[in-house]
Structure 1
């Protein structure tokens, strides 16, 4: 087995949080995420970096593939501060494209291929990428988007990284935005800097409460800080093989799973979509040592393993982690019985790159807390009036540190509202216990987290309300086996007769699968206050109150 270079800092978990250790860590970080492959290749060129079924790249291969792809992007006209949209599912080609884009100081705009065409066009209209790339071999859905956009296929480089397709920015198949010029508009002066570490390394869109996507700009320093801390806390070494099924288009998959693995010189085993059968096979036969997932993945894996115990074998597994959405105590117990080890937990958000808190290997909690804040950041619990609350009190969680985003792309007002004097206002209610562990109590707003993805009701309500038969709609989340499902309530216009299936089909054509309601209920009238505001508390009670209003 190969050995990684000496760790960036030699510390134990107990002294990792000391100021001196954090300062040493920050001072020793590379400036750019695309330097990670070269950093390992200099000492261990043949060490495995990326695994995708039978396709493999060593660290030297990855370095060379990045250089070749960067040259191809340069010839295609990509310049510094351009946005390159990558419509993707996890694969080697995606990793190469991310690093090649940042090599030119352009911004990778990562888009999950499972988004609908309308959702992609809304983001495209705002970000104005100069080029769109599709990971067509790894994703049939990306292939469909490529066909819609009349993209061309090209054998890009000498390395076998998988097929890609490309389309220029001027394409606007749905007519939702005007024709775009390759370099219009450039990022504002506030986002441009000569500090290479503080330049934008990834542009990730997250939907706001209004249903309008917001582009989160994360710097190289943001992402490398989380990669280094995550890798150190998990004790990742060059001997690890990390299973990467969490979407790398999501910040959790990008920073913690992907970059955290490559920071340590470990191997990343890429999988485009979650399949219990595939995970079982990889755990049993591919030497997987680290498994990270959202609670629903663990729940489905438990169900499969119990139904097929003959396939369950985890000879190398040493660390299992849950994140991305709330962890249910029952699921935690079931998972720990299956894995025969603690199920670790954590919390974060896109705007914090993402990690804010994480349980520790040496002190696994028995509850479902998300652990203490990670080293190097500060947190505070704040009351609605702005007062800082004492330990044990519930309030909004604020965080400050090297993980806080650069801001929202082309939205200074939203940035100023979210970040105050360096403090990121998470919008989540939390308390901190006597051991400094954070407990996430709920969300200040109406965010629904399903399968690790953030979903805002307003986004779905806008789609429902756009149907000609709909008077009003309201969307809420309902807990389900450590996850949340989406429930929609619809009030029809007078004299209209319809069935829930009408609106199921309507949503299916306009929303990504994970955003589609699990259930649509038709009501004679939505409950409202005197002001006309829809009372969502009453809708929540429909599931527990026998005196529910009649359903159509």
Structure 2
């Protein structure tokens, strides 16, 4: 089984690997040298394979190269730079971090927390005029370090990335991902999207999240492609970046795609100048109406994929043309084996609804120090995703809902996604998220947050009648909130669980 070192050897020395706005690019040869030098530095500071190194850096080329370097020889633990001190204390303690990497000059609350916990802080230093992604590491204070117990590049079974689940309903769980998991996932995604050295991806995804790290950065680099690393999603700058990067593709979550669409008409010339080979969407479901609009505007296929942290991102994907894309599905198995499981653990035939389960080389071996969660998550060697779905005769998977998100209205089970898609057909609706709100007698009732299109108008009653003409009465939202934007989690994903409490509907 190849390691990241093996996969990252594919890029031609002189070809650009990592680029960024207004910066000279780092070549594939330069990236390999950067990884080697970083690991030597970490090993000299006593940090080796399986040691947890937390990374708190803003989006950009150094975050990308630092993650890849750490994942190649220690256990990288990227954390959201927007966390508060209490959150950093939880994560650094829970991870048992051996070091924390921050940008020189950073005043992140993580630094004070690290000092309190006795975790050494390493400054990431970028020299004036350095290529995008080139850096050195300097300890903030002297470290009395012995040589690393396990130096050098990671082997297949070593833990190479540690992330936490989002923990919307419970304490976040630690997901250790091995070198083998990362390498397998990078290969699966590179094969699905047919990356070559001619490709350039415009990365707008956050790099503390599995989607951006694996699909946005690691997979294309293993195929010798270039990645243009932005400071994070900014709709006002997106088309300017397109002109500078001249990308062949980008990946994003649906809310980002919808924001890009809203500005696309004014940037038709930029889109025409830089025809994309494809657009990718993942992390939450994208309404078929938005797929249609994106494909019309960009004249490129939209490839919807399905991923999760425990699978090192990708599980299913719609294929590139000429194979069939089926809007409304997340495509076919694209890496691991995928099946539909009944409540009793048996596997269901095509056309029957159950829980989506996976197994394969990209799937975590299990949550860390959490036997209860592992007993619930694995059945007969299959990992249970927690998503409800159905597979058709050709192997295309449709997600019918998150099992925990299914609204139980007095025994009637309602998939919030179904109501989302009906509301998205209303001409005044730009974005929507349906969710369950508490009800004293029924247990739960349907509610919705709606963002209207610019200049459009609609009333709660009008939208309720619109849904009522297309679905049973019990599926009609009893409460519709009109908002300027949909409340989202840190990675831009819509989070139905806990939304009622967040909006004061409890």
TM-score by length of 1: 0.69
Q: Which residue of 1 aligns with 2:89?
A: 121
- Equivalent position of 1:545 in the other structure: 478
Give the gaps of 5 or more residues in structure 1. 1-28, 171-180, 187-193, 449-475, 490-525
Residue 222 of structure 1 contacts residue 403 of structure 1 at CA under 8 Å; is this kept in 2?
A: yes
**Residue 342 (1) aligns with residue 254 (2):** no
Map 1:352-391 → 2, pairs under 5 A:
352-361=311-320, 362-375=322-335, 377-391=336-350
Are the structure 2 counterparts of residues 423 and 84 from structure 1 closer, same or farther at C-alpha, using a change threshold of 3 Å?
same
Matches within 5 A, 1:93-132: 93-104=62-73, 106-132=74-100
Within 2, Cα distance between the matches of 1:132 and 1:334? Answer: 43
Cα deviation, residue 153, structure 1: 4.2
Q: Choose which of 127, 145, 149 in structure 1 pairs with 2:109.
A: 145
Matched residue, 1:40: 10
2:273 maps to 1:332:
no
Matched, 1:80 2:44: no
- Pick one of 197, 203, 221 that aligns with 1:238: 197
For residue 536 of structure 1, what is the aligned residue in structure 2?
Answer: 444
| 2:233 paired residue number | 274
State the shift of 1:71 in Å.
2.2
Match of 2:18, SS state, is strand
Higher mean alpha-carbon deviation, 159-168 vs 312-321, is at: 159-168
2: distance between equivalents of 1:240 and 1:403?
24
Give the superposed CA RMSD.
Answer: 3.8
Q: Note if contact 2:277-2:301 (Cα within 8 Å) is conserved in structure 1.
A: no
Residues 346 and 359 in structure 1, CA contact (< 8 A), matched pair in contact too: yes
> Match for 1:291 among 250, 261, 264?
250
C-alpha distance 391-167 of structure 1, shift in aligned 2 (>3 A): farther
Partner deviation per Cα, 1:399-426 (whole Å, 9 max, x = no partner):
1111211221222332232123321100
| CA displacement at 1:347 relative to structure 2 | 0.6
Matched, 1:134 2:102: yes
User: Distance in 2 between the 1:339 and 1:81 partners?
Assistant: 43
**CA shift at 1:446, angstroms?**
3.1
**Residue aligning to 2:28:** 59
Contact 1:219–1:405 (8 Å) recurs in 2: yes
After TM superposition, the structure 1 = structure 2 runs for residues 422-461 of structure 1, keeping only pairs within 5 Å, are: 422-446=381-405
Is the Cα–Cα contact under 8 Å of residues 243 and 291 in structure 1 kept in the other structure?
yes
Once the two structures are superposed, what CA deviation does each residue of 1:188-242 show, in whole Å capped at 9, x if it has no partner? Answer: xxxxxx9921221111111335431111111122121121121122121101111
State the alpha-carbon separation in 1 of the partners of residues 324 and 295 from structure 2. 11
- Contact 2:18-2:25 within 8 A present in 1 as well: yes
Q: 2 CA distance for matches of 1:542 and 1:486? A: 10
Partner of 1:498: none
What is the TM-score of this pair, normalised by structure 2? Answer: 0.75
Partners of 1:169 and 1:182 within 8 A in 2 = no
Name the CA distance, whole Å, in 2 between partners of 1:409 and 1:98.
21
Partners of 1:535 and 1:203 in 2: CA distance: 37
Asked whether the 8 Å contact 1:132–1:167 carries over to 2, the reply is no
Are the equivalent residues in 2 in contact too, given 1:199–1:219 (CA < 8 A)? Answer: yes
Q: What is the rounded CA distance, in whole Å, between the counterparts of 2:222 and 2:160 in structure 1?
A: 16
- Tell me whether 1:89 sits opposite 2:53 in the alignment: no
Shift, 1:395, TM fit: 0.7
Aligned residue for 2:296, secondary structure, equals helix
CA distance in 2, matches of 1:36, 1:91: 22
- Segment of structure 1 superposing worse, 268-277 or 413-422: 413-422
Counterpart CA distance in 2 for 1:126 and 1:486 is 33
Aligned match of 1:471: none
CA shift in 2, pair 1:545/1:397, >3 Å: same
* Superposed displacement of residue 356, structure 1: 1.1
Q: Is the 8 A contact 1:322 1:345 kept in 2?
A: yes
Q: d(CA) in 1 for partners of 2:180 and 2:49?
A: 18
State how many pairs are aligned.
428
**Aligned equivalents of 1:156, 1:148: Cα separation in 2:** 22
| Secondary structure of the corresponding residue to residue 331 of structure 1 | helix
> Residues 415 and 89 from structure 1, CA distance in 2 versus in 1: closer, same or farther, beyond 3 angstroms?
farther
The answer (yes or no) to whether the contact 2:275–2:298 under 8 Å persists in 1 is no
Gaps of 5+ in 2: 116-120, 408-415, 449-473, 482-503
What per-residue deviation string (whole Å, max 9, x for no partner) do you get for residues 326-366 of structure 1?
Answer: 11011111111111122110112111111111011122425
Separation in 1, partners of 2:329, 2:292 = 14
How far did residue 128 of structure 1 move? 1.3
In the alignment, which residue of structure 2 is the partner of 1:455?
none
The structure-2 alpha-carbon separation of the partners of 1:482 and 1:292, relative to structure 1 and needing over 3 Å to count, comes to farther
Q: Give the CA deviation at 1:162.
A: 5.4
